Amino acid sequence: MSAFRGPDRIRRVACLGTGLIGGGFVALFLARGLDVIVWDPAADARDRLDQLLATAWPTMERLGARAEDRGTLSWASTATEAVTTADFVQENAPDRLELKRGLYSALEPLVPADVVIASSTSGFTVADLQAGGLHSPRVVVGHPFNPPYLIPLVEVAGAPHTSKEALAAVEAFYQSIGKIVIRMDHEIPGFIANHLQAALEREAMHLVAEGHATPQQIDAAIVHGLAPRWTAVGPFMVRHLANVAGIGAYFERFPLGSESLLSHLRPPEGTPKLIQAMEEGCRAMAADRDRVALAAARDHMVIEIILAQRRAKISEHGI
């Protein structure tokens, strides 16, 4: 038996922080029938979470959630109150290193010994988070993609001192609530998907900065060009399928480095002209819709993609 609670022993989840990521996790946990106790010191936290849950719940229902199975939501007056009775802790505090370090130093000793603590951090490693001699084996990274109630991916990682049992327990828990888990062999800043996203965004920004494309054209190229096939297969399988002899033949025809003209290694300077072009392009694409309406439209489209993937029996590795 694992030293840490697995899915069969997790009924009550503590969520620390209820912003877009934390609130998205709250929605997911509730939809999976888990009881959630939340803590957020912001004055408007309750109103923000209520609005997020109202937006997210129709999405969750389309993906199979039922109102009668929904878990309960309660608020803790302190972070200590939230974690001491939890079976799993999801930390979603703002990505400010000293803030997170202080939170872990104060709360880690109070969490039950067999409970895993997962951080939603998008850039810090477990080694970063644990300073001042704290090397807890049950603190892991559980990095989701926004919104967590909708996008399946979560990246799991730990430091050299992180318990393999803790990593296995958090992976099993996330899988039990419908997540696709990438369990990294070792942690790096930014993990995997953020590196890929940053590279694409860097090239896109250069194209705008150099006057080769508008933000609207960039987004259209992704949505109607790259994204449809990337829904089914990733970039390596795209290369593999594009060559009769497989991806090895691609490297024979195009040696590494031969595409240097298609790559900018550094991000462009954020000049006022570039920022203005980005703002004007995004306002044009928003077409006077507010953020709530845009998020609802996004959720609707992503739902259709996820449901199509399910119908096509696309696995976590693609076709």
Give 63's DSSP letter: T
CB 294 within 8 A of CB 219: no
Q: Which two tokens stand for residue 222?
A: 């992704």
Residues 178-222: tens digit of each pLDDT: 999 999 999 998 999 999 999 999 999 999 999 999 999 999 999
Domain spans, the chain: 7-183, 193-288
Q: At 2, which helix (H) or strand (E)?
A: none
pLDDT value at 295 more than 90: no
| CATH no. of 193-288 | 1.10.1040.10
Confidence of residue 90 (pLDDT cuts 50, 70, 90): very high
Give 8's DSSP letter: G
Residue 16 φ then ψ, to 5°: -100, 105
E-only strand ranges, 48-130: 73-75, 88-91, 117-119
CB 22 within 8 A of CB 52: no
In the chain, pLDDT over 70 holds for what percent of residues? 95
Matching fold, domains 7-183 and 193-288:
no
Which CATH class for the 7-183 domain? alpha beta
CB count in 10 Å sphere of residue 160? 9
Q: Which residues contact 205 (CB under 8 A, 6 or more apart)?
A: 267, 268, 274, 278
Give 318's DSSP letter: B
